[in-house]
Amino acid sequence: MFPNILRSKPDNEPNREETSLLQIIQDERATVSIRMINNLYEIAKRRIYRGFIPPRLLTAFDINPISWEGLDGNVHVFLDAEPGTSEAKICAKYPWDSPDCFLTLELFDNQFGGIELGWIALANPMSERFSTDVDENGEPTYLGSVRRNLREEERAKDAGYAPGQVRDGMRGSREVFEQLDSFFATLSHPAYFLEPLTYVSAWVFERRGFAYVRGHAMMDEIHREFQPGGKLNDALDGSTPFRQPHQWTTIRGRAWAIHDGILEVIGKRWDKVRMLKRIGYHAHVDTTPDISY
Amino acid sequence: MKTRLKFSVTLAAELEALERFESFIIDTCGELDIETHVRDNLTKAVRDVCKTIIDVGYAGLDSGSIIVSMVKQSSNVVVTITDFGNPLDPLSKLMSNVGQAIEDLPMGGFGLAFLFRTMQNIKYEVTQAGNRLIFSHPFQRNKTE
């Protein structure tokens, strides 16, 4: 009966997905890839990806966690997981036609048979929006890696936002990561991976139980150099709004300075940091002891 | 009454961390009332393994984490060391030689002779969730209990 949920195929044609699904049924340890899920029938696929979202995050907006419909009758959760692809994106919106997602999750298969969490964002749709994601001409900034909107960034910083945040957070990341552990256990993956895009992200992921595949020593070095007398501390010279002397005392302050390129003074760049979450384990990493958010 | 079952620490794979790994083992053995000579053996074995991971596994890489965990299982203490560097291929080869006299093993300066001499049930696995070296040591509680 299980193969009936697969996409249709011409009679007698070998079906790779069917073989894969049979393997899953026969071997409980066989890992399930995003591609395999994407190749299922739409309803089966949605049933599986439903398990990816903590229901409370949806019901907080009166969105039905099963039908993904709101009280207004509109669908608020959008799944992009095309057959034949190895990536899936889930976006939940409130209101349903908002240009922004309040919950964004992106997954993709990596070349080693594992799954990467490509993007995770929780944004309070009721909070003020800062357009740091586009420049003054409306061109995307790609988190400031291609271009920056300095005026909006300064406003966002003053409002207490972190680099890359266009809206305030929703304080639901603990639930999301607990849900992800269950989701990946269902798929028989012992771990999953991600690349934190900002210093704040890495700090959050540490608190959610992640360890470092790459970049742990760099995080230690950054913390060391932000201490009084360190090179990063010295570079907080007030030369830009993002390099004020007091910023070393908070994670957000450090993150804005790093976003502004301050790591150059120690010959580093914010890239190649890679983290891993082992299902069911908390790594208890803390590279920034006694530093508040 | 002591209720903690498992103890672990995660630090960057850098030489400066070796002392903290040693302290972790010493403190945990204290919590578990483990005999002094077992504590000393575990401390040296963990130090040797972590140094090898730093020197060999993470060589040329931007160092990630090393996770050391200890759990008490009846009369054994089981240590698991997890890392995300390159797998220690020589260790895999050595594993096939366990049981030989230590002086016959092709150590080649790998620095793990003490581990093989003093620890039991040594296993090395390369998994999607990292490289894992697992070993155990029998122990008795300190006489003070």
State the DSSP string of A43-105. HHHHHHHHTTS-HHHHHTTT--TTT-B-TTS-B-EEEE--TT-SEEEEEE-SSTT-SS-SEEE
* Structure confidence at residue A180 (pLDDT): 95
Residue A101 pLDDT > 50, yes or no? yes
Residue B92 pLDDT > 90, yes or no? no
Residues of A in contact with B13 (CB under 8 A): 216-217
Return the exposure string of B8-24: e unless at least 16 CB atoms fall within 10 Å of the residue's CB, then b: bbbbbbbeebbeebbeb
Q: By the 8 A CB rule, do A142 and A198 touch? A: no
Of A189, A191, A217, the CB nearest to B13: A217
Q: What is the C-alpha to C-alpha distance for residues A141 and A165, in angstroms, rounded to an integer? A: 12
Mutation target vs A (from B9, B14, B63, B128; most A CBs, 10 A cutoff): B128
Residue ranges per domain, chain A? 195-293
Residues found in chain A: 293
CA distance B67 to chain A (A): 7
Mean pLDDT of the residues in chain B: 84
* Structure confidence at residue B74 (pLDDT): 82
Of B11, B62, B67, the CB nearest to A215: B62
* Structure confidence at residue B140 (pLDDT): 72
Q: What is the C-alpha to C-alpha distance for residues A109 and A112, in angstroms, rounded to an integer? A: 8
* Structure confidence at residue A12 (pLDDT): 43
Of A190, A214, A220, the CB nearest to B128: A190
Our separate counts of H helices and E strands in chain A read: 10, 7
CA distance B13 to chain A (A): 7
Question: What are the pLDDT digits (tens) for A276-292?
Answer: 999 999 999 999 999 99
* Structure confidence at residue B88 (pLDDT): 84
Chain B CA closest to residue A31: B128
* Structure confidence at residue A24 (pLDDT): 66
Predicted confidence band of residue A26 (pLDDT cuts 50, 70, 90): confident
* A206 DSSP β-pair partners: none
Chain A CA closest to residue B127: A190
Handedness of CA A269, A241, A160, A153 (dihedral sign): negative
* Structure confidence at residue A67 (pLDDT): 96
A133 C-beta neighbours (distance < 10 Å), count: 17
Q: What's the pTM value of the predicted model, to 2 decimals?
A: 0.88
Residue A8 pLDDT > 50, yes or no? no
Q: Of A30-44, B10-24, B131-145, give the lowest mean pLDDT range.
A: B131-145
A7 C-beta neighbours (distance < 10 Å), count: 16
CA distance B142 to chain A (A): 29
Distance of CA B106 to the CA centre of its chain: 20
**Residues of chain B that touch chain A, judged by Cβ-Cβ distance less than 8 Å:** 8-14, 61-65, 67, 82, 84, 127-130
Mutation target vs A (from B8, B62, B127; most A CBs, 10 A cutoff): B62
Cα-Cα-Cα-Cα torsion A92, A98, A99, A100, nearest 10 degrees, comes to -40
Q: Do A217 and B63 touch (CB under 8 A)?
A: yes
- The encoded tokens of residue A57 equal 């995050």
Residue B101 pLDDT > 60, yes or no? no
Mutation target vs B (from A214, A270, A273; most B CBs, 10 A cutoff): A214
* Structure confidence at residue A35 (pLDDT): 93
CA-to-CA dists, residue B129 to A199, A281, B14, B56, B60, angstroms: 23, 11, 20, 19, 21
Chain A CA closest to residue B11: A285
Predicted confidence band of residue A142 (pLDDT cuts 50, 70, 90): confident
Radius of gyration of chain B (CA): 15
Q: What is the C-alpha to C-alpha distance for residues B120 and B136, in angstroms, rounded to an integer? A: 5
Q: Do A191 and B13 touch (CB under 8 A)?
A: no
Mean pLDDT of the residues in chain A: 89
Q: Do B10 and A220 touch (CB under 8 A)?
A: no
Q: Is B54 helix (H, G, I), strand (E, B) or coil?
A: helix
Residues of B in contact with A189 (CB under 8 A): 128
Per cent of chain A over pLDDT 70 is 91
Q: What is the mean pLDDT of residues B65-90?
A: 91
End-to-end CA distance of chain B: 12
Q: Do A278 and B128 touch (CB under 8 A)?
A: no
* A77 DSSP β-pair partners: A92
* Structure confidence at residue B98 (pLDDT): 53
Mutation target vs B (from A29, A184, A194, A212; most B CBs, 10 A cutoff): A212
CA distance B23 to chain A (A): 16
Question: What are the pLDDT digits (tens) for A230-269?
Answer: 999 999 999 999 999 999 999 999 999 999 999 999 999 9
* Structure confidence at residue B73 (pLDDT): 86
* Structure confidence at residue A90 (pLDDT): 97
CA distance A187 to chain B (A): 13
Question: What are the pLDDT digits (tens) for A59-69?
Answer: 999 999 999 99
Q: Do A284 and B62 touch (CB under 8 A)?
A: no
Of A215, A278, A284, the CB nearest to B129: A278
- The encoded tokens of residue A221 equal 């070095």
Q: Of A114-118, A164-168, A265-269, give the lowest mean pLDDT range.
A: A164-168
Chain B CA closest to residue A111: B128
Question: What are the pLDDT digits (tens) for A39-56?
Answer: 998 998 999 999 999 999
CA distance B124 to chain A (A): 17
CATH code of B6-138, in short, is 3.30.565.10
Q: What is the mean pLDDT of residues B130-137?
A: 94
Could you tell me which residue, A27 or A206, shows the higher pLDDT?
A: A206
Q: Which ipTM score applies to this complex?
A: 0.85
CA distance B112 to chain A (A): 23
Predicted confidence band of residue A14 (pLDDT cuts 50, 70, 90): very low
